[in-house]
Amino acid sequence: MAVEGCASTAVLIDTADIPGGGQLHLVCHGEDFEILFDDEQLMGSWDYRSEEALATLAFERLRGTDPRVLIGGLGMGFTLAAARSALPLSGTVVVAELVPKVVTWAAGPLAHIFGDSLADPRVSLEIRDVHDVIVERSARFDAILLDVDNGPDALINLANERLYCSWGLRAAYSALRPGGLLAVWSAYPDRSFADRLQETG
Annotate 46-90 with DSSP letters as a single string. T--HHHHHHHHHHHHH--SSS-EEEEE--TTSHHHHHHHHH--TT
**pLDDT value of position 2:** 42
Give the ranges where the chain is alpha helix by DSSP (H). Answer: 49-61, 78-86, 100-107, 111-114, 130-136, 161-164, 166-175, 191-200
**pLDDT value of position 40:** 86
Question: What is 49-200's CATH topology?
Answer: Rossmann fold (3.40.50)
**pLDDT value of position 151:** 74
Query: What span, in angstroms and rounded, lies between the C-alpha atoms of 73 and 133?
Result: 12
pTM metric for this prediction:
0.91
**pLDDT value of position 8:** 66
- Ranges of each domain in the chain: 11-44, 49-200
**pLDDT value of position 59:** 96
Q: What is the pLDDT along the chain (201 residues), one digit of tens a residue?
A: 445 556 568 899 999 999 888 899 999 998 899 999 888 888 999 999 999 999 999 999 998 889 999 999 999 999 999 999 999 999 999 999 999 999 999 999 999 999 999 999 999 999 999 999 999 977 799 999 998 877 787 777 778 888 988 999 999 999 999 999 999 988 778 888 889 988 887
Contact predicate 156/118, CB 8 Å: no
Query: What span, in angstroms and rounded, lies between the C-alpha atoms of 53 and 61?
Result: 12
Closest CA to 43 of 77, 94, 92, 10: 77
Q: Residues with Cβ < 8 Å from 169, sequence gap 6 or more? A: 182, 196, 197, 200
